[in-house]
Structure 1
């Protein structure tokens, strides 16, 4: 028996707890249910290199069965319904409108989301990354925010939309760029403020954990308590360049020349 990271009870912990929800790996699996792993350096050189680890990443000794499967599971279930467009009751269906603003930024405005469930589902991914000891998630070190997020997840009540604001960007409207990519979470520092980014199947999720760390030009697009979210589309043709910069591949290729 050990202490569960979420409920803090001394109990039996499960041996296999996912960090990134399993359904997000669906686009990465081949017909044999083996995952196609993205090699950014090979891709930048025009080499279609594909490795096939058997599944996504898991770690044991973190959570009890109730917290992993029930408490956090219901948040991830809601995220899955949104991202894979599952059937929803009429009153829960999303209302989407594609907009181009006066500065030429294209975004998808989504109404009728459940702010509480979506905020908690996205925080779950960040928090799970933070408590993991796996090398993939080494950059996620939440400090005091780990406990702050844990309390919100356990109490099932997120803080306001201005506290740890979340912004989602996407290149899924760019047909020339693959969306079957899940990348290592990255920690960023700007003007002394910290934020994290995670790439999940053509979406870039930005978590602005430090107070006042969100740029003013992104603040409008954040997930809001009025049950709206605006997903910013990267300009077509820029997605791969963004991905190469994000993963540090451009610098790595320059070093190898």
Structure 2
């Protein structure tokens, strides 16, 4: 079959849609986790743990594209988001701020190209897979452009597919052991966006047309070419409201 990134006819491998390291807080001591739907809870079904390594698709990527081209981005993303195997020279330098009642962190020394392409690779894989959990992700005409960015290792300008990050890390209920199906949302100005809730983080992708004006919040909080990354820390109580909204 043809690899959906390089386009060559190759043997394809099992490729994770969301990298396995992002499931690390879901596993119990037996490397199992629960998978359930809201309907399961409504029906009173008992949740049974089962062995799983996250959602993967064996029909999208070859070994070279998955393990090398995208895999190198995953290794960097794991270091930045989870602080794994960081060398002093690549450790983000983070400062905390408060603005209009909200707290946020701004981390410098974050490689704009690598972290943006890493996150875009999750969005793109969510579109090209046939796995039902990602049915809400439909990039339409933006698919080829994002694929081109990944293939050419080119992250584009800040406001081309901007990404904002929020976090529950400081909330009483931080939801580190929860991954939700991605949800499509639409701003008041008509911009399509997708929100991925992965552990304590929420990554919000704005799949914008040039004809739409982005909210000021996005301009301020998206990844920056000066190699800085901002994360808004949601107030106590807001995490429950957001999870409820996403589930509904």
**3-state SS of paired residue (1:72):** helix
Task: Name which of 174, 179, 182 aligns with 1:182.
Answer: 179
CA distance in 1: counterparts of 2:164 and 2:218, whole angstroms: 7
TM-score normalised per structure 1: 0.89
How many pairs does the alignment contain?
Answer: 243
Q: Look up the match of 2:19.
A: 21
Instruction: Point out where structure 2 has 5 or more consecutive residues left out of the alignment.
Output: none
> Is residue 70 of structure 1 aligned with residue 68 of structure 2?
yes
Q: Against the structure 1 CA distance between its residues 177 and 87, is the aligned structure 2 distance closer, same or farther, given a 3 Å change threshold?
A: closer
Q: 1:204-215, aligned counterparts within 5 Å?
A: 204-211=202-209, 212=212, 214-215=214-215
Q: Against the structure 1 CA distance between its residues 41 and 85, is the aligned structure 2 distance closer, same or farther, given a 3 Å change threshold?
A: farther
**3-state SS of paired residue (1:140):** coil
Task: Name which of 49, 52, 64 aligns with 2:49.
Answer: 52
Instruction: Point out where structure 1 has 5 or more consecutive residues left out of the alignment.
Output: 249-257
Q: Look up the match of 1:105.
A: 102
CA distance in 2: counterparts of 1:61 and 1:25, whole angstroms: 22
> Deviation above 6 Å: which 4+ runs of structure 1?
none
How much is the aligned-residue C-alpha RMSD, in angstroms? 2.0
Task: Name which of 105, 115, 118 aligns with 2:115.
Answer: 118
- Between 1:128-137 and 1:32-41, the stretch displaced more is 32-41
Q: Deviations over 1:39-82 (max 9, x none)?
A: 55788x9x9x7442321111111111100111100001111111
CA distance in 2: counterparts of 1:64 and 1:42, whole angstroms: 35
Q: Look up the match of 2:9.
A: 10
Q: Look up the match of 1:198.
A: 196
Q: Look up the match of 2:217.
A: 217
Q: Look up the match of 2:226.
A: 226
CA distance in 1: counterparts of 2:147 and 2:226, whole angstroms: 23
Q: Against the structure 1 CA distance between its residues 24 and 38, is the aligned structure 2 distance closer, same or farther, given a 3 Å change threshold?
A: farther
- Is the Cα contact below 8 Å between 1:6 and 1:154 reproduced in 2? yes
Give the CA deviation at 1:205.
0.4
- Is the Cα contact below 8 Å between 2:162 and 2:218 reproduced in 1? no
TM-score normalised per structure 2: 0.92
CA distance in 2: counterparts of 1:193 and 1:214, whole angstroms: 8
- Is the Cα contact below 8 Å between 1:28 and 1:37 reproduced in 2? no
Task: Name which of 164, 169, 173 aligns with 2:166.
Answer: 169
- Is the Cα contact below 8 Å between 1:38 and 1:50 reproduced in 2? yes
CA distance in 1: counterparts of 2:85 and 2:243, whole angstroms: 32
